[in-house]
Amino acid sequence: MISRQPGVCGLNNLGNTCFMNSVLQCMSNCPPITDYFLSNKHKRELNTTNPLGMKGEIARVYGELIQAIWSAKYETINPLPFKIQVGKFNRNFSGFQQHDSQELLTFLLDGLHEDLNRIKTKPYIELKDSFGRCDKELATEAWENYKKRNDSIIVDTFHGLLKSRVVCPECERVSVTFDPFCHLSLPLPLNKDRIINVRYIPFDGNKNERNFRVTVPRKGIIRDLCEELSARIGCKADHLLVAEIARSHFHKFYFNEDCLDNIDEKDFIFVYELPLIQTQAAAFNEAEVSNQVIVPVCFWEKLKHIDKFAQNHLFGIPILVAFPRTSISIAEIHNILKEKMKRYFVFENKVGSDDDIHEDRKLKKSVNKGNLNKRYFPLFTMDSTMSALNPVPLQFVDNVFNFKDVTTENYNRRCFGRIALIVQMSAEERRQHYREKTAEYAADLILSKSSFLSHRDNKKIDILDCISLFTTCEKLSADDAWYCPACQKHQRATKKFDLWKLARILIIHLKRFSYSRCRHDKIDSLIDFPVNDLTLADYLTNTEGPNIKYDLIGVCNHYGTMRGGHYTAYCKNKRTRKWYCFDDSSVSVLKSEESIVTPAAYVLFYMAKEEESPSPTCSSVH
């Protein structure tokens, strides 16, 4: 444990508070703001009457924490007093759930600013029309207006100015505004397409299964996947059914209009070919005219002395079987099943006899069209020769599986009418007849998963590519339309951001967490960023501004997924000039600067080089 160095101090994890600890360590290693609190200037500028503030409590408790961290008296500190005050003024952080460190950072900077705002009474500012005025005039006016209402150490240290240019597509009116920013949230450039690895199961049991890497639009639908695969296998897209398999049963079926976002990289995706006379629509809609019904079939190894069905006793890859919508004998069922099962099972060439058919004629009612539509299908066992399927009385499997995303209205459509057929066998019968391909399938799927991850995540992205994407002109969506004062209506205008004034400490948030209607996901691509001499001169619209160069002073890292993860921080101590890894209460020296740049980097803290860019004055905008 590194100890007794000012600023080199761990923070106890109070229960999922690593997100908070990582932010506090990065903020602690921002020299301008830390020097301010160590010199007790915050006590003189405390604003306890600001209605937008926290009565000075956030600034007060933060100052106490910073002074303890830099006292060189402690190896670790309990940040509970700070946590209590944060939860008091923001209920989202009151419990002990995992949260986003960038969201806490935003709240902390805003809270410190309002608690330390030197403006006691904020004046009313009347905005002027920007039409026809030069950028320099607009920027100066915008910054001065902002400082009339917002003047604190946080503004002096962390705030910059963005230029926003909006153009109406109809009248071509140009609107330019300048807005302060406290951090840059940069999008990550990604391919518009994604790779989904699937296993194709031909309907003909004599044809081999095949693995495919299918390229689909990132925001596409299941129909896109089916059409792309159909072109490669020579099968119509309407005769393909996409399914997710988990624990040897059909976990979920996908339909043409379902979002591809529903498919995660960990899902095992199978695409089943339906018979030529059967389409996806007919398979799921009993009202549609069809002379067949598609039934999912799973395989159950029945353990000795256990008569009750247990889902965890299923094995192998489930199949889809087409049965006629007419009365059918048990022997006929057996022959249909045997034909489909031979892809995974080896049987003797003994087939059910006419006697079997006559003996089981009384069971024909169990599998005729009427009972199929009533969602009943008997559970079958088999002997070692598969010469007959013997019914187990009073056992049905119409409600074996828990299908997700199913309502009462669409239950029949989504679950083949809730019919499911379970083929039962003993352990000895499984060993004798089953082609043990489970391990092979698992290996194929694991390989497919890793290849998908490498395709998506191993691409190296330069941070300047993220800046370029941030400053790229884009068309506004219909939900975010801009009101044009000339046309007097909302327009899907084009909008472009540019950097105008940069802050003394530049915070860059990498938008690794993507959100869509169907899914939330994390982007684990490696973003290459410089530790020293970052310059954004090429992206500054203000050509009269100084050529500021930045050195990295802190990184907030996130490991894991959106469902769960862990935060740490890499920070450079201003006194020792060494880089440290802060992992809650554990603190260690980093061996090299090269280890700082990892795919876990989430929030970057850069400080302007003092010798090349003197501290900007409160009114400086160029």
* Given 9, 18, 298, 484, the catalytic residue: 18
CA distances from 80 to 15, 258, 367, 566 (A): 11, 46, 66, 19
The DSSP element (H or E) to which 331 belongs, if any, is helix 330-341
Cβ–Cβ < 8 Å for 621, 546:
no
Residue 422 DSSP SS3: strand
Mark whether 18 is an active-site residue: yes
What is the rounded CA–CA span in Å between residue 551 and residue 535?
A: 9
Q: Is the dihedral of CA 501, 506, 512, 516 positive or negative?
A: negative
Q: Is 385 helix (H, G, I), strand (E, B) or coil?
A: coil
Residue 467 has φ and ψ, to the nearest 5°, of -60, -45
Q: What is the DSSP string of 534-587?
A: EE-GGGBS-TTS---EEEEEEEEEEEE-SSSEEEEEEEE-TTT--EEEEETTEE
Name the catalytic one among 251, 313, 455, 566.
566
Q: Is 502 in contact with 540 (CB distance < 8 Å)?
A: yes
**Rounded-to-integer distance, Cα 207 and Cα 586, Å:** 57
Dihedral pair phi/psi, residue 587, rounded to 5°: -130, 130
Question: Residue 313: how many CB atoms within 10 A of its CB?
Answer: 16
CA distance 215 to 228: 7
CB contact at 8 A, 397 and 421: yes
User: What are the residues whose beta carbons fall under 8 Å from the beta carbon of 268, sequence distance 6 or more?
Assistant: 199, 244, 245, 246, 445
Q: 295 with 323: CB under 8 angstroms?
A: yes
Strand partners, 510: 186
For the chain, the first-to-last Cα distance in angstroms comes to 45
The answer to whether the CB of 617 falls within 8 A of the CB of 525 is no
Q: Using CA atoms, how far apart are residues 430 and 95, in angstroms rounded to an integer?
A: 51
- Cα–Cα nearest to 68, from 11, 22, 27, 152: 11
The Cβ of residue 615 has, within 10 Å, a number of other Cβ atoms equal to: 11
Q: Which tokens belong to 209? A: 């299964």
Q: Which residues are catalytic?
A: 18, 566
